[in-house]
Structure 1
Amino acid sequence: MQTLIAIIVIFGLIIAIHEWGHLYVAKKVGILCREFAIGFGPKLFTKKKNETVYTLRLLPLGGFVRMAGEDPELVKIKPGYEVGLTFHQDDTVKEIIVNNKAKHPDAKIVSVERADLEHQLFIEGYSDDEDGMTRYDVHPQADMIVDEEREQIAPWDRQFGSKKPWKKASAIFAGPVMNFVLAFILFVIFFTIQGIPQPEAANIEADSPAEEAGIVEGDRIVSIEGDPVEEWTDVTQTIQQMPEEEVTLLVERADGDTESFTMVVDAVYEDMVDAEIGQIGIEAAVSHSFMDSVVQSVSQIQEVVVLIFEVLQLIFTGQFSLDYLAGPVGIYDYTGEVMEMGTLILFSWAGMLSVNIGLINLLPLPALDGGRLVFIGLEAIRRKPIDPNKEGVAHFIGFALLMLLVLMVTWNDLNRLFM
């Protein structure tokens, strides 16, 4: 149960911050955002604030921001339609009621002759209480009510398609960017609390190679075998690979002088790797500095990005295997293992997942944010939009293939865990 709660919280946070990025920038560039949703399927919770409906849905498999103009309007007012109209005090149309007009007895019933709800914002038609055809100006934030479902109209200047390519790209790009921002924050919290090992001796084990050689607390390791040392992992990775070998360390002492020490590395059997590794008996000093955590967080994001690209590279070299990927089942299992290491490690794990989701979303594949950016880029080059129907088909095929991949990875996870 704890693992399930952790998964829900982590992915809820990652999805919410991703979609919030889309929502925030889309609103800033003037796009009407109809819905901000976490999950798919039936709605569990709905709340409208300003122009946007915020929903929580049953299936926690992602989320979306529904921007006006991305999908065709469900209902278009055409000649011959009979609609009900309600008005603001300035006589502009406040509500357009389609069907169930009897539930709105105060609405004026109008038989439509002409209507434009995108550009000029008007409805012309006939009503029983007025002679001849009358023109009704429609408020740009008027609601369309269809079968008692209320949705704000979308004038052309509020639609996704009306915006310049750079504004569209900004709204799409903002989602993955926020995943990297979230990862950075999570890593900073993790490193600030846990601390960052420094290439400096905090404790020296008695009778260890380091003590016998003359290294003392406060000595900072500058190089090993002539190779410069920048962080503690440079020390451990080198020493562990040199059991029973002679090694030379250049250290900087507390007074600023440098001194060279030579010692023979101890060999210690390590169960996890089933082999002997080298140790010299130094425990690293730990920094809880905020600025050190910031630098380490940037480095951590870079390492995760490089690792992802190394896995993706295997696709083009023919060495790719589904074992390199993890689906929902695999991530659930890994999260359980991480929780056993301590709650703090979840911050780092969530950060890595956020980087993964942000970077994968930027891949130039249909149905992903990167694929949408490709179409926007083509629009900028051609100076005219791609046919929405063709783009829609491409994204649908991409989504279907993505779901197929998820199913294959999930099946592979199940085989790995239970068979």
Structure 2
Amino acid sequence: MTIILFLIILGLLVFVHEFGHFISAKWAGIRVDEFAIGFPPRVFGKRVGETEYNINLIPFGGYVKIFGEDGDENADSRGFKARINADSAAASPLPKGVPYSDTARVVLKDHACRFTSKSRFVQGIVLASGVLGNIVFAWLLLSLNFVSGVPSATEGRYAAHVQNPELMIVSVVPGSPAETAGLRSGDAVIAIEEDGKRFEGVDAAEAGNFIGASKDAIVIFYERNEETGNISVLPKEGIVEGKRAVGVSLETVGEVRFGLFRAFFEGGLMTVDLVREVTVGLVGFLKQAVLGRANLDAVTGPLGIASLVGEARVLGMTYLLSFTAFISVNLAVINLLPVPALDGGRLLFLFIEAIIRRPIPSKFTRAMNSAGFVLLIFFMLFITYRDIVRLVDSS
């Protein structure tokens, strides 16, 4: 189920990204030859008008084939070459040098539906629209969460709007008594008992003090996925300095819910924060990579993301939507990197062309984009290999 859900989410995010390119190209009057989810071989395809819509076998990605984007004048130019019969009225006025009674094949190289026939400003809009699509999609998901209700701490930005506060386990220390006993992040603590004493509050600090003062094993009553249970745990020294602990981080968490317009406003603010945090994190990682100090354990590929999707699904729809928004923003920010084959690399070429006031040779850009694509594939394979190793080690 987790793998299927992951593929659905991935396909949806790719669809949103490529649809951004697609809709902006249509808006600009640029012909779109193909809209594809996944990479070949093709599983299903249908041509509608000038565009062929395909679903391909390899699900990790997708693309939009925009006419003339690669600058290849010799590429397939269906609808761009026209057979003109000189005797036909439809051929008038005739191209220069085509005699009457002859049939000629002409190439309209500056046809208005070609990507490169548009201004660089319009080209930039088309190239950046995929990134914008992912950011807008994240905004919609986060706004939907605010309408349905999003978990929030009782302190901070939404403190005045928090309803129904609960004592929540927000993290579990690996190898701790809590993890060994089976407690998980997202469990709501209903009560804690120890030798006839019982704590039923929602204050995280008070709960921590109750656990720290215990001499024997404690019983934690919890709720998980609308089901209740209880677990006996023996607190120990050394997890938290100065007192006994079981290895959980507790926080008072409630629900914040807004009306539609306020939800969209707050969702927009959260999206801006998310874009900033992801960008800062990525830039920091790249700086460390240049210095040779990057922590590759912090990078995860498709298998790692699929595992995280499974964890978010267990926690509930709100967490799943938030995680999907997070991945969508990550996809947007990564695509803006000035790496050939990514949108950022194509935007970089466009920026250089604007400075030098002439097109970069198409052979050079195609070669760079192909090399960038190969490097990205190798990097993805490397990260996937590390994901497999981590999964094997953890099992």
Post-superposition CA distance 1:162-197 (Å, at most 9, x none): 221111111000111111111111112223323353
In the other structure, the counterpart of 2:194 is: none
What's the % identity of the aligned pairs?
31
More helix by share: 2
In the other structure, the counterpart of 2:209 is: 266
For residues 308 and 254 of structure 2, the distance between their equivalents in structure 1, rounded to whole angstroms, comes to: 30
Alignment pair present for 1:156 and 2:130: no
The 5 A counterparts of 1:93-242 are 133-134=101-102, 156-197=111-152, 198-200=158-160
Of the two, which has the highest radius of gyration?
A: 1
User: How many equivalent residue pairs?
Assistant: 311
Structure 2 unmatched runs, 5+: 153-157, 167-205, 213-219, 221-232
CA contact 1:165–1:380 (8 Å) conserved in 2: yes
For residues 289 and 30 of structure 1, the distance between their equivalents in structure 2, rounded to whole angstroms, comes to: 40
TM normalised by structure 2 equals 0.68
For residues 162 and 326 of structure 1, the distance between their equivalents in structure 2, rounded to whole angstroms, comes to: 40
Deviation for aligned residue 1:408: 0.9
Amino acid at match of 2:143: V
Deviation for aligned residue 1:323: 1.2
Deviation for aligned residue 1:277: 10
Post-superposition CA distance 1:304-340 (Å, at most 9, x none): 3333333333223432032121111111222222222
One of 340, 359, 370 as aligned partner of 1:396: 370
In the other structure, the counterpart of 1:7 is: 6
More strand by share: 1
For residues 285 and 6 of structure 1, the distance between their equivalents in structure 2, rounded to whole angstroms, comes to: 27
One of 318, 329, 338 as aligned partner of 2:292: 318
RMSD value, Cα? 3.9
Dislocated runs of 4+, deviation >6 Å: 83-87, 123-126, 201-205, 270-273
For residues 27 and 310 of structure 2, the distance between their equivalents in structure 1, rounded to whole angstroms, comes to: 39
One of 297, 317, 331 as aligned partner of 1:343: 317
DSSP-derived class of the 2:53 partner:
strand
Amino acid at match of 1:194: G
TM normalised by structure 1 equals 0.64
In the other structure, the counterpart of 1:209 is: none
Deviation for aligned residue 1:57: 1.0
Structure 1 unmatched runs, 5+: 78-82, 94-119, 127-131, 141-152, 206-262
The 5 A counterparts of 1:245-394 are 266=209, 268=211, 274-275=239-240, 276=245, 283=252, 286-290=255-259, 291=262, 293-294=266-267, 295-394=269-368
For residues 158 and 20 of structure 1, the distance between their equivalents in structure 2, rounded to whole angstroms, comes to: 18
Higher relative contact order (CA 8 A, sep 6+): 2
Change in CA separation of 1:341 and 1:123 when aligned onto 2, cut-off 3 Å: farther
Post-superposition CA distance 1:30-82 (Å, at most 9, x none): 211111111111222222223211111111121111111134344589xxxxx
CA contact 1:361–1:370 (8 Å) conserved in 2: yes
For residues 202 and 288 of structure 1, the distance between their equivalents in structure 2, rounded to whole angstroms, comes to: 8
Amino acid at match of 2:116: G
Amino acid at match of 2:304: G
Change in CA separation of 1:406 and 1:137 when aligned onto 2, cut-off 3 Å: closer
